[in-house]
Structure 1
Amino acid sequence: MEVIKISNKPELKAQATAWFSDKWGVPVDAYLESMADAASNPHGIPKWYLILDDSNTIIAGAGIIENDFHERKDLTPNLCALYVEPAYRGQGIARKLMDIAVKDTAAAGFERLYLITDHTQFYEKCGWNFYGMVKEDDGGEIRMYERVCQRGNTENT
């Protein structure tokens, strides 16, 4: 399955923003703004990725943004909005999205990629290390993970 960078296929932006908004409850406009920023700076952050099935329906996606709604603005960039449709889980799709996100983060000049999550075992199995607890913008605490990024070539999809 091919990982598509939305900045390389802007015609998918409307479909992608609706899909991400439906999965995460973040307004479509926030995704539109972030994807527009990604298109204007293809070598920097943010970045957005999709995987489509044979009928061009989104089955998975993820993004890289500066901050994923937590108080630690110094811990940047952040993997965000990673989601795989239930029928496609357990096939290595999430890991594929994470791997390209790590490569692109390194290519953008960052040494680490962070994420906040409650899905601890999954991310630990995928090579993420527990960083510590951070306070979310809404005041709650959540676990933060980090992953070291190695410089290397990225796919141009």
Structure 2
Amino acid sequence: MPQFDWLANHMNHCNAFAQWIHQQFTYEFDGIDLSRWQHEFAEGQGNGDWQCLIALEQGQLLGGAALAAQDLPSRPDLGPWLACVFVDPAARGAGIAEHLIERLCAHARTAGFETLYLHTHDKQAYYEKRGWTVIEQFEAWGNKQWLMSRTLR
């Protein structure tokens, strides 16, 4: 079973995880080069903008997910957000993403948040099976997106 911990405690993995996110969600990073995103993501580990929980096994980074203060520029009225969910393809199929998501939801609930939000262009069915509800569909980054929420109380 992997170890789950905050990326802030393992900053040696920060640039690698930020690179995974930059590559996986390229459409969201139009005009933002990798080094700028890595810097912003690293700063976010300390200032609360991107509180990332990671999965490690024997020191190897397997994946992560973040509790983001803001993740959708067109909806600054909503937050916090489940964001940056990614598991290394070699580690998929072991439930790591679900563990990361559930641990972040528990953390957000303990922090006093009642609702968590996310947006996805292709995983709405995955999230619906795990208690998330579609709020609306919208267009962004050239794709149809699903805005979803989950009640934490």
Counterpart amino acid of residue 14 in structure 1: N
Q: Secondary structure at the match of 2:3?
A: coil
1:34 is the counterpart of 2:44: yes
Task: Report how far residue 135 of structure 1 moved.
Answer: 5.5
Corresponding residue of 1:124: 128
Counterpart amino acid of residue 84 in structure 2: A
| In 2: Cα distance, 1:147 partner to 1:65 partner | 15
Corresponding residue of 1:15: 13
Could you state the TM-score of these two structures normalised by the residue count of structure 1? 0.78
Unaligned runs of 5+ in 1: 39-44, 151-157
Q: Secondary structure at the match of 2:112?
A: coil
Instruction: Looking at secondary structure, tell me which structure has more strand per residue.
Output: 2
Identity over aligned residues, as a percent? 25
The answer on whether the counterparts of 2:66 and 2:85 sit within 8 Å (CA) in structure 1 is yes
Counterpart amino acid of residue 22 in structure 1: Q
Could you state the TM-score of these two structures normalised by the residue count of structure 2? 0.80
Counterpart amino acid of residue 3 in structure 1: F
Task: Report how far residue 32 of structure 1 moved.
Answer: 1.2
Corresponding residue of 1:3: 4
Unaligned runs of 5+ in 2: 23-33
Task: Report how far residue 68 of structure 1 moved.
Answer: 0.9
Q: 1:24 aligns with which of 12, 17, 21?
A: 21
Choose 96-105 or 122-131, whichever is displaced more. Answer: 122-131
Q: 2:93 aligns with which of 84, 90, 95?
A: 90
Task: Report how far residue 21 of structure 1 moved.
Answer: 2.1
Task: Report how far residue 139 of structure 1 moved.
Answer: 7.7
| Runs of at least 4 residues off by over 2 Å | 133-136, 138-141
Judging changes above 3 Å, is the alpha-carbon distance between structure 1 residues 75 and 91 closer, same or farther for their aligned structure 2 residues? same
| In 2: Cα distance, 1:73 partner to 1:139 partner | 20
The answer on whether the counterparts of 1:71 and 1:135 sit within 8 Å (CA) in structure 2 is no
**How many residue pairs end up in the alignment?**
138
Counterpart amino acid of residue 16 in structure 2: W
